[in-house]
Amino acid sequence: MQALAELKEQIRQALPDLDVVIGWQQGYDALHTSPLFIRSEEDIDKLVVNEFCVVNPATYLREMRGGKKVGLVLKGCDSRSVIQLLQEKLLKEEDLTIFGFGCNGVLNHTKLQARFGDIGFITSLENDGTNVTVEAGDKKETVPFTELCADKCLTCSYPNTLQCSHFAGEESAKQADSATDKALEDFEKLTMEERFTFWQDQMRRCIRCYACRNACPMCVCKDHCLANSREPKWLSEDVDVQNNFMFQLIHVMHLTGRCVECGECERACPMDIPIMLLRRKMAGIVRDVFAYNAGTNAEETPPLMCFKVEEPTIEERH
């Protein structure tokens, strides 16, 4: 990995001026990475960059505000959340150093698990970019990468880190496999009643652990989240379908025009509820109506923070 060696070198040079650099390190097994906080020289060698680097390190920025000089190793999709936060003036550009690289997609553990049973059974996994060869127990299988990668990678149009201070290795030439979101299209073939029933079934499984909120890089309210507020009281403590559904709608509405579709919420969900369907739908509407892609240009104004007197793209409602 040439990019990894370059990244490490760049971090080594930049580290004296930084309080911390956030990246990924090898996790508890070969198929997982965990977040790495580089504070000293010897930590640098722990850095890994591979198809298991699913976590968005930008999520930790929320805890790092307040003058700390932070370095971040970011995939293309992760960098969008930083740009969006910069745009909302929640971060200062001079406090950040971003180390970029070309990402070729990450794997989805839920898909691996669905295909090969428990992830613990997988003894080896080889990824050549187009095919993944997995050995689990006594069977060996080669599966196209697109069947095991995260959903966001299928429609990804930003494989290279945006607005980075340092870029390592070659740019990724990865193309989106399809311009449209197939899962969402399939879902929208259902009737209204079927969709409503589907969500009720899903929300019934929700345990409201708030992992989706806590993993979200854009959820910056921390202790002031509407979901925990008693005055006004939006949600009861009951974990029932209605409250769970309302919580998801709060999350979606608060991310309108801000969601960068990094997919962290769905990945963090312990119940594997496909909540990205809701977020992708909303991001698609924002794209259609305001021609706005969240987190791609720090100079733009978020679409719900501004208006036009005549809205050419909004139908007049009589």
Partner 1 sequence: MSGSTGLLTEGQDLRIVGFLCNWCSYGGADTAGVARFEQPTDLRVIRVPCSGRIDPLFIARALLSGADGVLVSGCHPRDCHYAEGNFYARRRFEMLKQFLSVTGIDPERFHYTWVSASEGQRWQDVVTSFTERIRKLGPATKMAGGTGYDEECLKEIAAAVSLGDQCPCHKEKA
For position 246 contacting partner 1 by CB under 8 A, the verdict is: yes
Tokens of 236: 């009861």
Residues 39-58 that bind partner 1 (CB under 8 A): none
The nearest distance, CB 2 to partner 1, in angstroms, is 43
By rule CB under 8 A, what count of residues binds partner 1? 48
For position 277 contacting partner 1 by CB under 8 A, the verdict is: yes
Among 65, 109, 195, 287, binds partner 1 (CB under 8 A): 195
For position 209 contacting partner 1 by CB under 8 A, the verdict is: no
Among 126, 171, 194, 238, binds partner 1 (CB under 8 A): 194
For position 241 contacting partner 1 by CB under 8 A, the verdict is: yes
For position 307 contacting partner 1 by CB under 8 A, the verdict is: yes
For position 303 contacting partner 1 by CB under 8 A, the verdict is: yes
The nearest distance, CB 227 to partner 1, in angstroms, is 11
Select 210 or 245, whichever has its Cβ closest to partner 1: 245
The nearest distance, CB 279 to partner 1, in angstroms, is 10
Select 13 or 301, whichever has its Cβ closest to partner 1: 301
For position 205 contacting partner 1 by CB under 8 A, the verdict is: yes
Note the residues at the interface with partner 1 (CB under 8 A). 184, 187-188, 192-205, 226, 234, 240-242, 245-246, 249-250, 252-253, 256-257, 277-278, 281-282, 285-286, 288-290, 303-304, 307-309, 311, 314, 317-318
